[in-house]
Amino acid sequence: MEEDRPRATILNVNDTPSVLYLTGRILTNAGYHVVEASSGKEALRLATGRPDMVLLDVHMPDIDGYEVCRRLRDQEETRDLLIAHLSAVSVRREDRLRGLAQGADAYWTTPLEDDELLANIEALLRLQARTQSAVSARDEFLSIAAHELRTPITALRLNLERLVHHLSRAPGDLIARGTVEASTTPALRQLVRLQQLLDTLLDISRVGSRKLRLHIEMFDLSEAARDMAQRLAMPARAAGVTLSLTLPERPTLILGDRLRLEQVISNLLTNAFRYGDAKPVLLEVEAQAEVLTLSVRDQGVGIAKEDQTRIFNRFERAAAASGTDGLGLGLFIAREIVSAHGGTLTVESEPGHGSRFLVTLPRHRTEAY
């Protein structure tokens, strides 16, 4: 077991004292915390304490292991426990099938070498940890998504309610144009924000299912960078950021999906505006013999070394940005888009000295998209 991992608790259930003792010693020496039960009834009682795993004998005098497993699966508080049968008597194929059909996650028969038993246990615990991590990520994502969607929906509702209020007080069918615009213009902005959020959710679904489609065309990467800088000029001013461009004099032609790569540029620039501490941001495109590079450099808070890999994962933000809005998906989606083009997206950063995100794309891709 890894030293930095909390000790897992295993409920060891066996009605044979010598086997119970020997198995308990093996588990304890391997670093596990062991709780022991010598009967089915005792196992059902102790399982309510939610051990990380139940190592369950099949043949017991009061309630056999099959029935113990079935009851644990029927109870709300224990139905998701990790359960493995360990038997020296019920070793036939039919026994294993019955145990698994009753809800066991594994069925092992003895004799079994100590290291093999421990390897099997560790493998199941790793699988459980990955499953729990995925569930936690899902729950966190749903919480963040609900918050992000609620904000524009609330603003949209308030603006429309204000418009309805003015309509109800206006004489006849007349209402001032300025009054209508004051309510509908913010409402339209919130609808755009909702559309962006929904597009992001759709992108993450496509990436997760490997259904991200690229519409390949020949285009000028420098031109795309210039267009995105113009489109994001207003958000840059709102953030107090001066955005500069450094572009080659000659066209930087590339085969790729222009809209998707513009999405990458947008994500990187938006992050630079958000975390750039209102200092200048540089967008640069460079042409080399085999690759094109696009970089976004800010002079903001920077990213700690230990966070520079994590920020490209789903639902992640750098620690310094924990209070900011967003789904924590922009960099993950950007990296997947770049990867789909056969390229890489990396970051160079030091806390307090800003960050440089670097996109590297092959000029002459030979693999199919």
Q: Are residues 158 and 83 located together in one domain of the fold?
A: no
Q: What is the pLDDT of residues 355-365, one digit of tens each?
A: 999 999 998 76
Same domain, yes or no, for 88 and 185?
no
Residue range 178-220, pLDDT digits in tens: 777 777 777 776 776 676 667 666 666 566 545 567 888 999 9
Domain end call among 208, 235, 267: 208
Confidence (pLDDT) at 322: 42
Query: pLDDT over 90 for what percent of the chain?
Result: 46
How do strand 217-220 and strand 106-109 relate by DSSP bridges? unpaired
Q: For position 207, what pLDDT does the model report?
A: 61
Question: Which CATH number goes with the domain that contains 232?
Answer: 3.30.565.10
* Gyration radius (Cα) of the chain, Å: 29
Domain of 83, CATH number, reads 3.40.50.2300
Q: Of 208, 233, 265, at which residue does a domain stop?
A: 208
What pLDDT, on the 0 to 100 scale, is given for residue 323?
Answer: 46
Residue 286 lies in a domain: yes
Confidence (pLDDT) at 39? 94
pLDDT at residue 315 greater than cutoff 70 = no
The pLDDT value recorded for residue 51 is 94
pLDDT of residue 2: 47
Residues 152 and 172 in one domain: yes
Residues 224, 196 share a domain: no
User: 85 and 56 in contact (C-beta within 8 Å)?
Assistant: yes
Instruction: Please indicate, yes or no, whether residues 74 and 13 belong to a single structural domain of this protein.
Output: yes
Phi-psi region of 55 (alpha: psi -120 to 50; beta: other; left: phi over 0): beta
Statement to judge: residues 332 and 256 lie in one domain = yes
Contact 152, 197 (CB under 8 A): yes
Q: Please indicate, yes or no, whether residues 227 and 306 belong to a single structural domain of this protein.
A: yes
Residues whose CB is less than 8 angstroms from the CB of residue 324 and which lie 6 or more positions away in sequence, other chains included? 274, 275, 317
Whether residues 285 and 355 fall in one domain: yes
| Residues 282 and 189 grouped into a single domain | no
Residue 196's CATH number: 1.10.287.130
Q: Are residues 194 and 97 in the same domain?
A: no
Domain that holds residue 37: 8-112
Number of domains in the chain: 3
Give dist(CA 324, CA 346) in Å, integer: 22
pLDDT tens-digit readout, 13-64? 999 999 999 999 999 999 999 999 999 999 999 999 999 999 999 988 899 9
Q: Is residue 126 part of a domain?
A: no
Q: What is the predicted pLDDT for the residue at 357? A: 96
Average pLDDT over residues 344-348: 95
What pLDDT is recorded for position 166? 72
Please give the mean pLDDT across all residues of the chain.
84
Residue 121 lies in a domain: no
Residue pLDDT, tens place only, 94-105: 988 999 998 999
Residue 124 lies in a domain: no
Domain-embedded: residue 72: yes
Alpha carbons within 13 A on the beta-carbon side of 254: 31
pTM attached to this predicted model: 0.54
Instruction: Report the C-alpha gap between 100 and 84 in whole angstroms.
Output: 9
The pLDDT tens digits for 149-169 are 766 777 777 777 777 777 777
Q: Note whether 281 and 244 are within 8 A (CB).
A: yes
In a domain, 241, yes or no: yes
Domain match, 331 and 243 both: yes
Residue that is last in its domain, among 178, 208, 238 = 208
Confidence of residue 320 (pLDDT cuts 50, 70, 90): very low
Using 50, 70 and 90 to split pLDDT, how confident is the model at 118? very high
**Is position 118 within any domain?**
no
Residue 122 counted as domain residue: no
Using CA atoms, how far apart are residues 217 and 148, in angstroms rounded to an integer? 34
265 with 339, same domain: the answer is yes
